[in-house]
Structure 1
Amino acid sequence: MSNSTASYRQRKEDFVSNLSGGPVSEISNVTAIATVAMVLWSVLQARQSFFKPYTLLGFVVDFLLNVGAILLAFTLHSGSPTLLHLFLLAPAVLIYALPPNLGGSRKKPKLPPNAASKASGTEPLNVLSIKPYITTYRGWMMVSTAIAILAVDFKVFPRRFAKVETWGTSLMDLGVGSFVFSSGVVAARPVLKERASGKTTPLSKRLVASLRHSLPLLALGFIRLLSVKGVDYVEHVAEYGVHWNFFFTLGLLPPFVAVFQSMLKIVPSYAALALLLGVFYQVALESTGLKAYILTAPRVDLISMNREGIFSFVGYLAIFLAGQDAGMFVLPRSLNPNSKDKGATQRLTTLMMTGVWAAVWTGLYLLATDVRWGAGLTVSRRMANLPYVLWVAAFNLAQILACAAVDTFFFPAFYNAADGRAEREAYDAATSRVLRAYNRNGLAVFLVANLLTGAVNLTVPTLDVGPAVAMGILVAYALVLTVSAVGLDMYDISIKL
């Protein structure tokens, strides 16, 4: 290794480790830009049918609103989120004030005979609907994650947004937890389907099925480990350890969740399981030498070398279970099927349930962290302790609530659909093509984002480029990811890992 390479590597390590975090309120202000951008997208679609049909111009606007706005919020407008809010809200108000153009004069494409015969009948509704706001929420989370993992290597990305060394909160600390929480939300689907069928899957079959999901992720973890060590890529050991990475955490979740599902015969809900696990882990941290071991133990064997990844897994498992609990009430078609006005009641009930649980998790977070009235604990993503679990759950439910509120206001037709075909059309109209594409192949996009991030860091001295060059690279990177995701969606390709 040359002296210049060694010097740059040291600078990069110092740059990565100099993390101070930021207040929770600032993180909320910045991430709220995604909601405002969603409002503008919804106004364009609901009032002007701007994205129907989906043209090249529609893609450009879709990309700018749902990817470009997030990129600006994380970089150039990180210090002035209010200004970006105004840039997005002003046209939304103006467009909403204009007379609606619902595209009624446009000629509908003629259907082939076989499609026309199917359309004349009634297609039954699926047991579980695919909610537009869940797609929006998960798509937004994937876009944010993909942008942040590369942007963090440039100086245009504020250090307070990068992962905190040990104690505190930051945007990227929230990102990894949100990825796990959102995975838990959709993991409730097979459980709900099983309950609807009235059947119970034995633990042995659940474990076998979970291994099918785990093995590809664990393989990716080993591939990442070998590639990172092979090219001497700069990484921060205190994040997960010497050998551990996020793919190992994701890969180990399914079998543990399958085991914990059997405990629902004793514990009433996934939320209770998450809380019990989080409290048990926090007690172990505080009453034993576990906290000191995680933070200060010498790295002398395989466990001590990877102690952050191994023990933080307990916290991530609790986050996954909390997400699965949220999925149990946001995914069902209706929580009150006996109501006469099913559409309106469903929307109201879902909003109320999400709001109540967001308040519950927020209250528990404040109780755990308040110095005067609570336990006075501090968030630690490094250990994934109890305050971190509560913070992630509270934030994600608040974000789901915001997405649901915008969705139900602008696109009520989805909740009033009488058959499967009408519901599917309403879903397509209510969801961004870009966010839908990110959500559909989220893990594959995340893998590509990691590969591109590594390629950029190996070819570009990210610490030495100015804001203009950095933004050019980030825009090109985001565009490549988005085109890839939308291309897969256009060709109806789903990559399941």
Structure 2
Amino acid sequence: MDSSYKARKEAFVSNLAGGSILEINAVTLVAPASVLLWSVLQSRLSFFNPYGVPALITDFFLTVLSILFATTLYSSTPWTLNILLALPALVLLLTSTPSRPQLKAKPPATKKNVPKHASDSSEPLPVHPFLTTYRAAMMIITCVAILAVDFRIFPRRFAKAENWGTSLMDLGVGSFVFSGGVVSARSVLKSRNNRSKKTTLWQKLIASTRHSIPLLVLGLIRLYSVKGLDYAEHVTEYGVHWNFFFTLGLLPPFVEIFDALATLIPSYEILSLGIAILYQVALESTDLKRYILVSPRGPDLLSKNREGVFSFLGYLAIFLAGRAIGIRIIPRGTSPSRSPQRARKGVLLSLGLQTLVWTTLFVLNSTHAMGLGAGIPVSRRLANMPYVLWVSAFNNAQLFLFCLIESVFFPSVHGETGKDGELERASVVTSRIMMAFNKNGLVLFLVANLLTGVVNLSVPTLDATTAQAMGVLIAYVGIITGIALALDKANIKLGL
């Protein structure tokens, strides 16, 4: 890469201050708004059954292109895009009646004579389509942003802030970790349900390390690729050698260590807050904050990678906050005295209360609200306490919105208690593209990173016109979506 162009690229993503949280909320609201329109089309018209070419194109526009447009063409007017998505949904609601989604007749193969309640008791962790939608939407916006940020059509206020501030990409990094924490709750719940099989901390560490190895290898590959190709890099993001794959790879074993404390501190919310508070106290009462932000980089590895090393504590707190809500919302929650409808109301109430609590803590921590707030600015570079609280509040709110949409338009999903019927209904009420992105999320994230590198090495993104940028970005998200659908069609799930 030409040295002068490389310097321009690095300057393009450096020393930024972010934007307002209200604008970020408006942009990210496009995802629930598009799911709302998708849900109305499906519940009122069964539009996506069968899933032909018109359904595929509409699905792509709603679930992928709407997010791309929100961060580019409509970045200055996100409410306009939200209205354009919500209005057709409102018109359909007022002019049509609910249709009954057609389910395939699929006779049970091996459970023909098994009573329904037996299946229920053996499968206490049901499929939640709203979780699939939440994780897929987060993955789509992440894939969009990592390439779009290199074009001028992507506003600088959406790119990662240098030291202090809030931005769309700052939120995206934390949301990726929070999402991983949510789904990690399944392993905890399974171990709790299977009390006959005890696993020691050492066994858990070995298993989690095996899961981490591929991510750490990817981190090394990215490191050597960036250095070897003289690729433009933002050193103050994570450090000289550190990258996000290292953070993701080191989370599982450290989470297992803190998971052992769950016997003493049974609430993952308290564990998360405890880490965030202790880390913030260290930042404020020692020279740690100065060391991370402004100290000269020494020759040792810690000094060269201090952002990645110390921000890991914040990401660990975010992961545990995600696991906390996962433990609350993933279990079926039904019993002889509690109907599926009451269980779903409990999930909505839990998400609503969690959103309120995390938001209140964030406001008190990051502002001077009512003269009681601490007024600590958000820093993704530090992954400080306000950042942890912001990410947790936002993701709980997103989960609440997706769960509410599903509960309103597809109430039969959480009313279905048999595993076979559950899977079938989930496929009817969930976007095919969303399901595909959720199924191979980490693989698609890797593909997106590779394609981003290819584009940046072959296209002068800084000099691209709006039309050229949109052409490249639409082709890019189209390729990723195609790969996702192909893997899903072949029933391939590649775990990292």
Query: TM range, normalised to the smaller chain?
Result: over 0.9
Contact 1:129 1:333 in 2 (8 A): yes
What is aligned with 2:312?
313
Could you list the per-position Cα deviations for residues 418-457 of structure 1 after superposition, in whole angstroms to 9, with x for gaps in the alignment?
Answer: 4222111111112111111111100000000000000000
What is aligned with 1:438?
437
Contact 1:49 1:101 in 2 (8 A): no
Aligned counterparts of 2:140 and 2:174: Cα–Cα separation in 1: 15
Say whether 1:34 aligns with 2:31.
Answer: yes
Could you list the per-position Cα deviations for residues 304-344 of structure 1 after superposition, in whole angstroms to 9, with x for gaps in the alignment?
Answer: 0100000000000000000000100111111x52434x121
Say whether 1:24 aligns with 2:21.
Answer: yes
Aligned counterparts of 2:404 and 2:105: Cα–Cα separation in 1: 35
What residue identity is the alignment partner of 1:411?
F
Could you list the per-position Cα deviations for residues 332-360 of structure 1 after superposition, in whole angstroms to 9, with x for gaps in the alignment?
Answer: 111x52434x1210111000001001111
Residue of 338, 348, 355 corresponding to 2:352: 355
Contact 2:209 2:252 in 1 (8 A): yes
CA RMSD of aligned residues (A): 1.6
Contact 1:122 1:419 in 2 (8 A): no
Say whether 1:390 aligns with 2:389.
Answer: yes
CA shift for structure 1 position 294: 0.3
Q: Which runs of 4+ in 1 moved over 3 A?
A: 98-104, 108-111, 114-123
What is aligned with 2:91?
94
Percent pairwise identity? 52
Say whether 1:238 aligns with 2:239.
Answer: no
Say whether 1:215 aligns with 2:216.
Answer: no
In 2 relative to 1, CA 462–423 (structure 1 residues): closer, same or farther, beyond 3 Å?
same
In 2 relative to 1, CA 449–121 (structure 1 residues): closer, same or farther, beyond 3 Å?
same
TM-score with structure 2 setting the length: 0.95
TM-score with structure 1 setting the length: 0.95
The equivalences for 1:39-438 within 5 A come to 39-100=36-97, 102=99, 122=115, 124-125=119-120, 126-199=123-196, 200-300=198-298, 301-334=300-333, 337-340=335-338, 342-371=339-368, 372-438=371-437
Aligned counterparts of 2:293 and 2:105: Cα–Cα separation in 1: 65
Could you list the per-position Cα deviations for residues 365-417 of structure 1 after superposition, in whole angstroms to 9, with x for gaps in the alignment?
Answer: 11111223211101000010000000000000000000000010011111111
Secondary structure of 1:399's match?
Answer: helix
Secondary structure of 1:17's match?
Answer: coil
Contact 2:43 2:100 in 1 (8 A): no
Aligned counterparts of 2:460 and 2:341: Cα–Cα separation in 1: 54
What residue identity is the alignment partner of 1:92?
A
Could you list the per-position Cα deviations for residues 246-283 of structure 1 after superposition, in whole angstroms to 9, with x for gaps in the alignment?
Answer: 00000000000011011012113111000000000000
Secondary structure of 1:380's match?
Answer: coil
What residue identity is the alignment partner of 1:185?
V
Count of residue pairs brought into register by the alignment: 488
Contact 2:127 2:422 in 1 (8 A): no
Contact 1:73 1:84 in 2 (8 A): yes
Aligned counterparts of 2:134 and 2:11: Cα–Cα separation in 1: 34
CA shift for structure 1 position 120: 7.6
Aligned counterparts of 2:104 and 2:162: Cα–Cα separation in 1: 56
Aligned counterparts of 2:453 and 2:104: Cα–Cα separation in 1: 45
Aligned counterparts of 1:128 and 1:139: Cα–Cα separation in 2: 20
Q: Which runs of 5+ in 2 are unaligned?
A: none
What is aligned with 1:14?
11
Aligned counterparts of 1:154 and 1:347: Cα–Cα separation in 2: 43
CA shift for structure 1 position 115: 5.2
Contact 1:440 1:489 in 2 (8 A): yes
What is aligned with 1:492?
491
